[in-house]
Structure 1
Amino acid sequence: MMIGVLQHIQGEIAKRDLMNELAKRLKVGAPLVLAGNYRAYSSEPLLLAAWAQRWRMHGAGPDEVRAKMDRILEAAEPPRSEEAVAALLAETGFETPLRFFSSLFWGAWITRRAAALL
Structure 2
Amino acid sequence: MKKILPIALLSLTALACSESNQPKCTDEIVKTTLKEILANNGTPDTSAVSFEGITTTGKDEEFRMCECAANVVTEVYSKYDIVADTLLNADEEQRQERRFPITYKAQLTDDGESINVEIL
TM-score (norm 2): 0.28
TM-score (norm 1): 0.29
Larger radius of gyration: 2
**More helix, by proportion:** 1
**More strand, by proportion:** 2
Q: Which has the higher contact order (CA 8 A, sep 6+)?
A: 1
